[in-house]
Amino acid sequence: MNTAEKMLFLNSQLMLLSLDKEHNAKEIIKVSEELAALQRQMMEKANAAPPDNEEISGFLEFTEKEILKMPKAFRKKFRIQGCTVSARKRTTGRYNCSYELRYAKKPYDKHPISASGRTIPEVKARFIEKLNNYIPQDIASPTPSKNFHEFAMFWFEDFHAAKVGNKTYKNDYSLYCRHIKTRFEKYQLDTITPIALKSFLAELPGNGKTADDARSILNQIFETAIVLGKLKQNPLNFFVHISHERENGIELTRDEEIALLTASNGTVYKIIYAVILFCGLRINEYKTARIDGDFITAQNSKRKNGKYDEKKIPICSHLRNIISEYTELPKRHEASIRKHYKAILPIHTIKDLRRTFSTRCVNCHVEFYAREKFLGHSVGKLDKPYVGNIDEYLLAEGKKLDNWYSVPQNYPKKI
């Protein structure tokens, strides 16, 4: 007799006993207990876990809220496909189970996305996270071409732009278009020979700086091509290129400083030259310079990737005497500043004012960290002294420049 038949038999027997007026109470209790025990047995069997390692396969559907967390390019296709992912539930006991999701439709058929978790919300969250972070190989960024010009454009946009400032990028790209592109545009990377490069660099106009800059750009392009497997050897390594000697400029003497300020007396150029000379500004930084209490504040033009950074240079006594009547600094076009300056000091460039400031900072014993902050150079954390108030520290170092004309003219060879 199976369980169902036994239960039917006990039910009928209990009914007959209850109809019998002379029934035995003990018999009714006995049958009732057997029936209750049988019912408990059937309930436990119904609620029992499936056998160990049993797997149940099917599909798991995602809600619209969950779909919005997926990549934008993926959503439309996913909705068309029914918003479902292949799912598998694996049970390893009464209370232990796990879920596994797997998506292998195009373009993920070669590199499927899979995720697992102990609960459905957990496995869904992991699947969405992997979907957002996963880039299958067949839909990754296209491999750059072996054509020199196409690879050069790839290098400019994906590598060079992230390394240099906007001005440097524009100058390098302009030089590339003027000289390099016109010569090697139709070449393949591996067909450019050392002889062709040597001849090209030798023919470039200028005093040698153009050739140095062009070689630098070419070298970076070739080295990137080697790293990406587009080229085996750098053709520039097969010959020696002699770089031209760059002129670092000449510091102004005290007499030249006085001559510059005297010749421009009564004009706005005196203010401009004094600010550049006594603050060490680059000429393109002067247009952002302003009087800020005890400081001249200007934007540092050497910060990359559009990062905004201001530098503050204390106003020394010599500069204070010259700009005492001004609340705002006068502005002039860079070309006009250079032209007026060259008429007074023909053997100097405007950069020599900044070099003079740097030299005088050394001669006046301005600390290294403060000097680098004034000039707008990058200073490592290890070089930074402990100071309670950076402005007070810079002002204290700036006061040393009040001795500008009292220090000996023993210029160091290198700064």
DSSP string computed for 289-302: -EEETTEEEEE-TT
The reported pLDDT for the residue numbered 369 is: 87
262 and 341 fall within a common domain: yes
Query: What whole-number distance in Å separates Cα of residue 295 and Cα of residue 395?
Result: 8
350 and 263 fall within a common domain: yes
Nearest one of 224, 227, 238 to 148, comparing CA atoms: 224
43 and 58 fall within a common domain: no
Phi, psi of 240, rounded to the nearest 5 degrees: -95, 130
**Residue 302 is assigned to a structural domain of this protein:** yes
Q: Looking at 214, 238, 262, which one is the last position of a domain?
A: 238
CATH code at position 322? 1.10.443.10
Query: What whole-number distance in Å separates Cα of residue 361 and Cα of residue 372?
Result: 10
Q: Are 275 and 289 in contact (CB under 8 A)?
A: yes
The reported pLDDT for the residue numbered 382 is: 45
388 and 270 fall within a common domain: yes
DSSP annotation of 311 reads E
Query: What whole-number distance in Å separates Cα of residue 374 and Cα of residue 381?
Result: 16
Query: What whole-number distance in Å separates Cα of residue 399 and Cα of residue 403?
Result: 8
Cis amide linkage into residue 205, ω under 30° from 0: no
220 and 274 fall within a common domain: no
306 and 396 fall within a common domain: yes
188 and 260 fall within a common domain: no
CB count within 10 Å of CB 52 equals: 10
**Residue 411 is assigned to a structural domain of this protein:** no
Handedness of CA 82, 85, 86, 89 (dihedral sign): negative
Query: What whole-number distance in Å separates Cα of residue 124 and Cα of residue 366?
Result: 61
**Residue 16 is assigned to a structural domain of this protein:** yes
343 and 293 fall within a common domain: yes
**Residue 249 is assigned to a structural domain of this protein:** no
Could you report the per-residue pLDDT of 286-342, keeping only the tens digit for each?
Answer: 999 999 999 999 988 876 555 677 889 999 999 999 998 889 999 999 999 999 999
Handedness of CA 350, 351, 354, 359 (dihedral sign): negative
- Residue 235's SS3 state is helix
The reported pLDDT for the residue numbered 415 is: 31
CATH code at position 205? 1.10.150.130
Query: What whole-number distance in Å separates Cα of residue 315 and Cα of residue 274?
Result: 11
Range of the domain at 36: 3-47
**Residue 243 is assigned to a structural domain of this protein:** no
94 and 120 fall within a common domain: yes
Instruction: Please state the domain count of the chain.
Output: 4
Query: What whole-number distance in Å separates Cα of residue 178 and Cα of residue 203?
Result: 13
Q: Are 273 and 261 in contact (CB under 8 A)?
A: yes
Query: What whole-number distance in Å separates Cα of residue 309 and Cα of residue 223?
Result: 32
Per-residue b or e along 206-244, where b marks 16 or more CB atoms closer than 10 Å to that residue's CB: eeeebbbbbbebbbbbbebbeeeebbeebbbeeeeeeee
Nearest one of 49, 135, 127, 47 to 88, comparing CA atoms: 127
Nearest one of 196, 246, 76, 218 to 151, comparing CA atoms: 218
Query: What whole-number distance in Å separates Cα of residue 119 and Cα of residue 105?
Result: 24
Query: What whole-number distance in Å separates Cα of residue 247 and Cα of residue 258?
Result: 24
Q: Are 394 and 314 in contact (CB under 8 A)?
A: yes
Q: Looking at 139, 169, 187, which one is the last position of a domain?
A: 139
Residues of the chain predicted below pLDDT 70: 1-5, 7-8, 10-11, 14-25, 35, 39-40, 42-57, 80, 92-95, 106-110, 134-143, 207, 244-248, 303-307, 378-388, 407-415
359 and 388 fall within a common domain: yes
**Residue 312 is assigned to a structural domain of this protein:** yes
DSSP annotation of 177 reads I
**Residue 247 is assigned to a structural domain of this protein:** no
177 and 107 fall within a common domain: no
Burial bucket for residue 151 (CB in 10 Å: 0-12, 13-18, 19+): buried
Burial bucket for residue 319 (CB in 10 Å: 0-12, 13-18, 19+): buried
Q: Looking at 118, 139, 160, which one is the last position of a domain?
A: 139
Q: Which residues face 89 on adjacent strands?
A: 56, 99
Report the helix count and the strand count for the chain, using DSSP H and E: 19, 7
The reported pLDDT for the residue numbered 222 is: 94
**Residue 275 is assigned to a structural domain of this protein:** yes
Query: What whole-number distance in Å separates Cα of residue 122 and Cα of residue 37?
Result: 40
189 and 325 fall within a common domain: no
Query: What whole-number distance in Å separates Cα of residue 133 and Cα of residue 408?
Result: 63
Whole-model pTM: value is 0.49
